[in-house]
Amino acid sequence: MEVANNWKDYEILDMANGEKLERWGDVILIRPDPQIIWKSKSFPKKWESANARYNRSSSGGGGWKYNKRMPENWQIKYKDLTFNIKPMGFKHTGLFPEQAVNWDWMIEKIKNAKRDIKVLNLFAYTGGATVACGYAGASVCHVDSSKGMTTWAKENVASSGLEKRPIRFIVDDVVKFVNREIRRGNKYDAIIMDPPSYGRGTNGEVWKFEENIADLVELCTKVLSDNPLFFLINSYTTGISSTVLEDILRLNIKKNGKFSHGEIGLPMRDSKLVLPCGIYGKWES
């Protein structure tokens, strides 16, 4: 497992009963997590310090219960990158801190390439990978079907001081956009995708991970440059093995390089526990 253990502004303080106690800068949040199936808390007193807790509703969804005053939004840093945090209606904060292991990997790959790199970031959300690749010196095409998430990504780029970097923001259905890029003859040296388990595009296009991921990867190989650097698939879809992601890449990428797969996770402070958070499959030159 790749563990994101280089954070200073984020940490898991405890985990128990389907919930994690997290520090985001100076704000302490309690959020649900289905992987935490054990009952006992390691540090019961720490839970009293939480500013807010996200409670699931038995009828679906849920909401935040605030225990202490806290800002509506605030910033945290990961090394030289700055991100804007906002508690959202469905337990999220706009950032997946475990992805820091992938940001570090991308930054190193791009900087060591010693050439101009064009990155295509699909299902790009609030732009964690966009910020990382822009910081490393790449030109980035950021694609997401949500206008709100794309606006948030622009804020993260600006907060990290990268607004003058060659970053293009596209609000569109991913499949439609890639098909247009194929017709235009546009190519990319690196492709990142973080597809949802289920989603809808800008015009109601339905996305289902198990049904659509293999076709999308095959489609994206048509916009890979002749000298590609990497292809990364992230997933939080339950029931899918990371080996499957590597298998799909092996079936579609015929260039020389290294294939790998695995889990990403977050360590718990003052503990040997690690929370598994997602999976990846990747190819790199």
Each residue's pLDDT tens digit, 213-234: 999 999 999 999 999 999 999 9
Please give the pLDDT value at position 202: 66
As a whole number of angstroms, the distance between CA 243 and CA 261 comes to: 6
As a whole number of angstroms, the distance between CA 194 and CA 209 comes to: 10
pTM of the model: 0.95
- Domains of the chain, residue spans: 2-85, 97-284
As a whole number of angstroms, the distance between CA 120 and CA 248 comes to: 18
Are both 2-85 and 97-284 of the same fold?
no
What CATH number labels 2-85? Answer: 2.60.40.1180
For the chain, give the percent of residues with pLDDT over 90: 91
For the chain, give the percent of residues with pLDDT over 70: 99
User: Which segments of the chain does DSSP mark as H helices, in order?
Assistant: 100-113, 128-136, 147-159, 174-184, 209-220, 242-252
pLDDT in tens, 54-108: 998 877 778 999 999 999 999 999 999 999 999 998 899 999 999 999 999 999 9
283 CB contacts (<8 Å, ≥6 apart)?
Answer: 230, 231, 249, 253, 255, 257, 258, 259
Query: Cα–Cα–Cα angle for 224, 140, 105, nearest 5°?
Result: 80
97-284: CATH class:
alpha beta
Please give the pLDDT value at position 56: 85
